[in-house]
Amino acid sequence: MRAVVQRVREARVVVDGRVTGAIETGLLVLVGAAPTDTPSEVDAFAEKIVGLRIFADPDGKMNLDLRQVGGAVLAVSQFTLFGDCRKGRRPSFQAAAGPEHGRAMYDRYVDATRALGLRCETGIFGAMMDVRLHNDGPVTLLLDSTRLF
């Protein structure tokens, strides 16, 4: 599983002119699944993201996690995180999970985040989405469950 995690002041997803998910303070998480991802790996990945200490404490240092600031998550499915651009100019998405497994792992990520006691809004799996955000910092992190980076 891979994720782009952005600390936001607000974020929302719009599909066909309708807001499908919106948050204020929290994390916009673009999340993509690999064919080898398992439910237990997804659960650990969700816990890792929720526990990231990337919010400012009273001294202005990144020392607080999502729970400590009362934040929420906006999770957006993003198979293109597995795009391979090393050959040519058209990305290959062979390393991404197929639609069935991708949806199952995305749904598991959302459920795991909610099971940790957080509000988790979503986009619509497989839809063309307009993702709007107000990045805070900016703070943007790349995570890979296999620790590739």
- Catalytically active residues are 78-80
Report how far residue 9's alpha carbon sits from residue 137's, in angstroms, rounded to the nearest whole number: 9
Report how far residue 39's alpha carbon sits from residue 52's, in angstroms, rounded to the nearest whole number: 20
Count of beta carbons in the 10 Å neighbourhood of residue 103 = 15
* H-run or E-run covering 141: strand 130-144
**Alpha-carbon separation of residue 30 from 4, 33, 59, 73, 82 (angstroms):** 5, 10, 29, 10, 12
Angle at 111 between CA 12 and CA 103, to 5 degrees: 75
